[in-house]
Amino acid sequence: MQKRSGVFTYENGLLVLLGLSFGVAFFDRNAATILVPYIDEDLQLTNTQVGFLGSGLAITWALGAYLIARWSDARGVRKPFLLAFLVIFSACSFLSGLAPNYPVLLISRMIMGLVEGPFLPVCLAIMAVESSEHRRGINAGIMQNFFAALLGQSLAPLVLVPIADAFGWRSAFFIAGIPGLICAAIVLLWVREPSRAAQDALDVSTAGAEGARMSFTQMLSVRNVLVCCLISVFMVAWMIIGWTFLPRFFTDYRGLPAPTMGYLMTVLGIASAVSGFCAPAISDRIGRKPIMIAFCLAGVITPLAALYFQGSLVVLGLLMFIGWTATGAFPLFMGVIPGETISRRYAATAMGLVVCVGEVIGGFGITALSGRLADLFDLTTPVLMMVACAIAGGVLCFFLVETAPAKLRALAAERALAKAA
């Protein structure tokens, strides 16, 4: 599908707005783990409870990603869902700040996960319709990783830690809830509902355009969807374990001051922003599969550096940066590859399925297990689990079938020449 060229187009404006909105959602998701050292002073959390703050949100994130995204596909509408998501997760951030005890805090995070989980699949489904073909990968990467990294990972530690130092962790949660309401107002006034005709026209050019409604098991029978689900299990666990336990690992195990921990976590956010732009853009040209393999395997560098590197803080930050570029693979296996494999009319459901499986087994199961093992042994255990997850995710990438349009056209041309010869 060809889109109007230029800078000030609806495609570009939509990309920025949806990217900012998902960045705000990720900012709210990560707020609790960034503020754990401060919350711990009031609520006296165990490592198991810290693990459940991440894994509890992950399980509801997963359920929402599949069930509510499927509901959106069934209704054939996107905008009303986006508005509801933004308002509800903003309210949950305020509720987190009011939490008098751990159970209330956990419940507020789990409700937040329920509406933030389907946010990304619905946004990606909108962008699949509104994106130019040659920008499909890079648009998904910018929307999912660039803004999420910029706001949720880079900016979150820089903003939340000073606010918590000056005014307390509750005030940090209150402030984190405001941007979502602003984004909701802009979505209400400016975003238009994607055209069903445009979506159907896009399906005509899609090799995987199935006519009948696809069930859960039918989607899993598609090789790329199944492989992306398995990759999601390990790479989501890798990311959530890292974001949940690295702050405490640096402050409690390695004895680094909180501002230093904030610097290192900010570096991870910058890495996500850069890789979220670069990895999908390169994959548009050379293919999805080689980029997936390279970036997922790079994920071993971050936990190994956190565990074993004892040199300069600057070099440690550089190593953490290189390893965290593995997040550049997330837009590909969560959105682009499933979306290029099956019909666009089921895009949100397929993407939600990949997110759901990854969050339930990886984000909830493996992350909860890592917290329990950290209590039984020490904080090195979850960091070592990150290494294993990155290796598993990288190996699974070898089983993907290439979907990049440019790469497929090149392969078709090569086959045609070979037959002619």
**Domain presence at residue 283:** yes
pLDDT value of position 198: 53
Range of the domain at 233: 10-192+201-420
Q: What is the pLDDT of residue 199?
A: 53
In a domain, 141, yes or no: yes
Q: Cα–Cα distance between 331 and 337 in angstroms, integer?
A: 9
Q: Which of 175, 171, 152 is nearest to 30 (CA)?
A: 152
Query: What confidence score (pLDDT) does residue 197 get?
Result: 54
Using an 8 Å Cβ cutoff, are 344 and 129 in contact?
yes
Q: Return per-residue pLDDT of the chain as tens, 421 residues.
A: 444 556 678 888 888 898 888 888 888 877 887 888 888 888 888 877 887 787 788 788 888 888 888 888 788 788 889 899 999 989 999 999 998 899 999 999 899 988 888 888 888 788 877 777 677 777 877 777 777 777 876 778 778 888 988 898 899 999 888 988 999 999 999 888 876 655 555 554 444 444 446 677 888 889 999 999 999 999 999 998 998 889 889 998 999 988 888 888 888 878 888 888 789 889 988 899 999 999 999 999 999 999 999 999 999 999 999 999 999 999 899 888 988 888 767 777 888 889 889 878 998 889 889 988 998 998 999 999 999 999 999 999 999 999 888 788 777 777 777 777 6
**Predicted local distance difference test score (pLDDT) of residue 219:** 86
Within a domain: 68: yes
**How far is Cα 363 from Cα 358, in angstroms, rounded to an integer?**
6
Question: Which of 322, 339, 336, 330 is closest to 284 using CA atoms?
Answer: 336
Q: Which of 84, 53, 20, 267 minimizes the C-alpha distance to 173?
A: 53
* Spatial distance between the Cα atoms of 345 and 347, rounded to a whole number of angstroms: 6
Angle at 158 between CA 153 and CA 159, to 5 degrees: 100
Sign of CA dihedral 360, 142, 135, 397: negative
Residue 3 counted as domain residue: no
Distance CA 336, CA 353 (A): 13
| pLDDT value of residue 41 | 80
pLDDT of residue 309: 95
Residue 220 lies in a domain: yes
- If one counts the domains in the chain, the total is 1
Q: Which two tokens stand for residue 339?
A: 């979306």
151, amino acid identity: L
Give 64's contacts (C-beta < 8 A, 6+ positions apart).
Answer: 113, 114, 115, 116, 117, 118
Q: How confident is the model at residue 290, as a pLDDT?
A: 95
Residue 136 falls within a domain, yes or no? yes
> What is the sign of the dihedral through the CA atoms of 145, 386, 363 and 368?
negative
Is 413 inside any structural domain?
yes
Indicate which CATH number applies to the domain containing 139: 1.20.1250.20
Asked whether residue 272 is assigned to any structural domain, the reply reads yes
Reported residue count of the chain is 421
The answer to whether the CB of 380 falls within 8 A of the CB of 307 is yes
